[in-house]
């Protein structure tokens, strides 16, 4: 069985100078990923904790109100947004360390959810307009 064309060394180059077609991508340092993750968790710690507590309050209701379906759905969405806020710094650190498309897509997706959750907490609970 003949060898594939990509495995045949070039006739113009010496055998010792022939390089494989694919070169390994350089990976960034592990410390950069750790710094990004820890800094992200430090920045998002308070909003994530606040959103988790607000989700519990919305899901369980207060003493004088009954729990409704939309309240439970809003609480579940709040918990999912809290998980996205916890996952975003880790995924961003991994995406910077090992540049893969799937990690960047996951980091961007959780980043959009994190930004939306931070805006919701800031506008709806911290600075109420009405």
Segment 16-60, tens digit of pLDDT: 555 555 656 566 788 999 999 999 999 999 999 999 999 998 888
Asked if residues 51 and 82 have their Cβ atoms less than 8 Å apart, the reply is yes
Q: Please state whether 62 falls in left (phi above 0), alpha (psi between -120 and 50) or beta.
A: beta
How many Å separate Cα 112 from the centre of its chain?
A: 9
> By CB neighbour count within 10 A (0-12 exposed, 13-18 middle, 19+ buried), where does 108 fall?
middle
> Which of the 8 DSSP states describes residue 99?
-
Say what angle helices 69-97 and 30-60 make with each other, to 10 degrees: 180
pTM value is 0.72
Model pLDDT for residues 56-78, shown as the tens digit of each residue: 988 888 777 778 888 889 999 99
């Amino acid at each position: 069985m003949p060898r594939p064309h990509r495995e045949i060394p070039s006739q113009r180059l010496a055998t010792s100078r022939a390089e494989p077609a694919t070169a390994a991508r350089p990976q960034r340092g592990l410390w950069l990923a750790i710094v990004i993750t820890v800094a992200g968790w430090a920045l998002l710690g308070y909003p994530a904790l606040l959103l988790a507590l607000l989700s519990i309050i919305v899901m369980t209701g207060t003493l004088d109100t009954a729990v409704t379906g939309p309240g439970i759905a809003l609480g579940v969405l709040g918990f999912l947004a809290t998980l996205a806020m916890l996952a975003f710094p880790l995924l961003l650190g991994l995406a910077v360390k090992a540049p893969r498309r799937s990690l960047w897509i996951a980091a961007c997706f959780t980043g959009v959810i994190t930004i939306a959750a931070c805006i919701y907490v800031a506008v709806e609970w911290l600075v109420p307009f009405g």
